[in-house]
With several copies, the nearest count.
Chain A
């Protein structure tokens, strides 16, 4: 996958481009923007409270709130995302509640697929009952699904987004690769539980700086076992140094998520370090 710079905005924290409302969002340093996961059916998401942050972690339990593929396609056709396509490459993230929904959504997107740099499938969101991470609980069915999607989207750059739970991430990546997919994004949020200061329990997915050593290891293992895969690193990347470490252990591109909650301008520092590193190491 060729990007102006291999620095990607992760699916979710940046929604459908709302950060673009900022007058000075650093688009010039964004190699690709991943849209928030669109699922087959509209999702209202989970009950509040949905987020909390402390001690190096952000925890969220959004629950894939999104308008569903039908409304998404309407809006896409209406040209509402055109401004975003002008700013940068766009990666679409897809999800569903079941085998059938994953297949169906693939068919629905097929006619529009060429607008996207790549299509990422979310097999790792921990905040939904069905789909997301739970889809891989039935391994045989999941493998079948991978082949099925590859058949439907036979020309697209297909990426599976994997977490560290529900199996060994490097084995999962091997399965993805064997099904003829092009890449993986590792990792997603890790299942966590925090108490906020009011003593309320927040059961969600962990992101933020503390994920870095876990994500570094995941990328390292996935690369070792899958030299052929395109790897997008996700998890705890906040600085140029973090990004370089990811490239060193085998990532082809880095992605940033929770970083945006702190300050989107840090993307520029990361992109500059990445350019410098790739300039030097090539």
Chain B
């Protein structure tokens, strides 16, 4: 009966959030901190409502100074709304499964759009945080993050990213978590795997989501075990589950 979801009514809550601060992380990407916090575990996400789009938009949750934070890359109407609006933002959360690494002290590799999640994971699992950006990070923002968390490194550009991948592969981390664009995750997984078969690589997958709660089946991904759904089976998957299909 595995293909039916066990439905436990009442698990997911609705929140109305007010933004307190919006930092620029880099071109087009912002760090949004809210007044409130919500109940969630590392790796989980929220569906964020907007006035301008037909669907709510998935964003991974993070914490900053004990408050809820998300990073938002502006790619369309919804992400723009979230960064720009002054109105309260309605979300439903927590969604998806928490990320549970096999042990602590791994490496967390994130694009600027996933920095909020990255900080939270690094803190929770005592891991090293690598921020991988195409464009330079806002220096003030970086200083702020470094003040909060040692073990942060930032690399800029594609070449530096590839070098970093080789470096961390050699460092002997038990696991590496990667969260960013599909492209970035694919490159990271394949590069790391080509040099080492031991390291457990985890990816936070991106698919267009209708519901975020397992109803609509829009967020399908192909895995070695057949179709899985990012919102209920993920969002974090083991790299081998995804890429060996290709």
Contact = CB atoms under 8 A, between A and B. Distances in A.
Chains A and B come from one and the same complex = yes
B14 A261 contact: no
Contacts of B211: 13-15, 18-19, 260-261
B215 A65 contact: no
Contacts of A258: 54, 210
Interface in B1-33: 1, 3-14
Interface string B45-81: 0000100011110000000000000000001100000
Nearest to B229: A65
B218 A50 contact: yes
B207 A48 contact: yes
B54 A53 contact: yes
Contacts of B213: 18-19, 21-22
Contacts of A49: 207-208
Contacts of B11: 21, 23
A209 to B, nearest CB: 7
B55 A14 contact: no
Contact of B7 (A13, A18, A48): A18
A31 B76 CA distance: 35
Interface residues of B, number: 39
A15 B12 contact: no
Contacts of A56: 54
A62 B53 contact: no
Nearest to A22: B12
A71 B12 CA distance: 26
B215 A15 contact: yes
B220 interface: yes
Nearest to A209: B54
B28 to A, nearest CB: 14
Interface stretch (A74-82, A97-105, A176-184): A74-82
B3 A20 contact: no
Given A15-B214, A21-B7, A48-B222, A263 B56 contact: yes
B203 interface: no
B115 to A, nearest CB: 22
Interface stretch (A39-47, A88-96, A134-142, A156-164): A39-47
A113 B220 CA distance: 31
* Most chain A Cβ neighbours within 10 Å, of B8, B9, B14, B222: B9
Contacts of A208: 54
Contact of B217 (A62, A75, A262, A263): A62
B12 A23 contact: yes
B53 A53 contact: yes
A48 B49 CA distance: 24
Nearest to A257: B216
B46 to A, nearest CB: 13
A60 B218 contact: yes
A58 B210 contact: yes
Contacts of B218: 50-51, 60, 62
Interface in B203-232: 207-211, 213-222, 226-227
A116 interface: no
A206 B90 CA distance: 26
A114 B122 CA distance: 54
B221 A48 contact: yes
B3 A71 contact: yes
B215 A14 contact: yes
B31 to A, nearest CB: 23
Given A21-B7, A262-B54, A45 B227 contact: yes
B155 interface: no
B4 A262 contact: no
Contacts of B219: 50-51
A145 to B, nearest CB: 26
Interface in B135-178: none
B242 to A, nearest CB: 11
B109 interface: no
Contacts of A53: 53-55, 208
B1 A262 contact: no
Contacts of A23: 9-14
B122 to A, nearest CB: 29
Given A12-B216, A53-B208, 10 more contacts: A14-B215, A15-B217, A18-B215, A22-B213, A48-B221, A53-B53, A67-B4, A71-B3, A197-B76, A263-B49
Interface of B: 1, 3-14, 49, 53-56, 75-76, 90, 92, 207-211, 213-222, 226-227
14 contacts: A18-B211, A18-B213, A19-B215, A20-B9, A21-B214, A48-B220, A51-B216, A58-B55, A62-B217, A62-B218, A71-B3, A83-B7, A260-B211, A261-B55
Please provide the 4 A-B residue pairs with the shortest distance between their CB atoms, ordered closest to farther.
A15-B215, A51-B218, A18-B215, A67-B3
